Amino acid sequence: MPRWRQGLTKSLHQSRSMPESRYFQLASVDEAGMPFCRTVVYRGLTDNNQLMVISDTRSEKYQQLSDNPKAQVCWYFSKTREQYRFSTLSTVITLEDDTTLVTAQWHKLSDAGKKQFLWGEPGSVRNDERALTINGHFEDVPTHFCVILLAIYEVDYLNLRGNPQYRERHHLDKNDNWSSQSLIP
């Protein structure tokens, strides 16, 4: 297990009582190179070091990551005062690609979470202030529900505790070996 992953596991454990520690920022770029950053919910880390999030194939995020799979994650843990920046390559998994994975992630959602995927296209104009109309059933996985896997190839870790602060970079080489280097913060 890479050293950065051991640290992330510890950070997650130490921050488990803080709901905000499950959220991180995900940045992508559009076709013109304009950066977009949004907060997403951490859904797990695969055995081969891929962060997992869920999304909607009708969203800007889906289109941007389909056009350019490079993305960056910034994750800050306020309790431990640690920041992880992950350079990643994304893979979007649809129901057609992997029914088992996508269905499993759908069934882990609460009904409130599922509603967000059943009330119209993300970013479209909302016509009235009444409750949003739900189209579909909570049991059925919508075809536009997807999983995004973010394969980590570089980690920039910063610990803000202490003076001096501590920073290190971890890099995955072409042989799938991790190297680590201490940096000046």
In total, the chain counts a number of residues equal to 185
Per-residue pLDDT, 131: 59
Q: Which stretches of the chain score pLDDT less than 70? A: 128-131
Per-residue pLDDT, 162: 87
The torsion defined by the Cα of 31, 35, 38 and 44, in degrees rounded to 10, comes to 70
- Does residue 90 belong to any structural domain of this protein? yes
- Does residue 122 belong to any structural domain of this protein? no
- Global pTM reads 0.93
- Does residue 125 belong to any structural domain of this protein? no
- Does residue 117 belong to any structural domain of this protein? no
The Cα–Cα gap between 35 and 3 comes to 30
- Does residue 116 belong to any structural domain of this protein? no
- Does residue 129 belong to any structural domain of this protein? no
- Does residue 30 belong to any structural domain of this protein? yes
87: domain range? 3-107+143-183
Could you report how far apart the first and last alpha carbons of the chain are, in Å? 24
Q: What is the mean pLDDT of the chain?
A: 94
- Does residue 19 belong to any structural domain of this protein? yes
Assign residue 29 the CATH number of its domain: 2.30.110.10
Per-residue pLDDT, 127: 74
Per-residue pLDDT, 123: 79
Number of domains in the chain: 1
Spatial CA neighbour of 122 closest among 185, 51, 64: 64
Per-residue pLDDT, 75: 98
Per-residue pLDDT, 153: 98
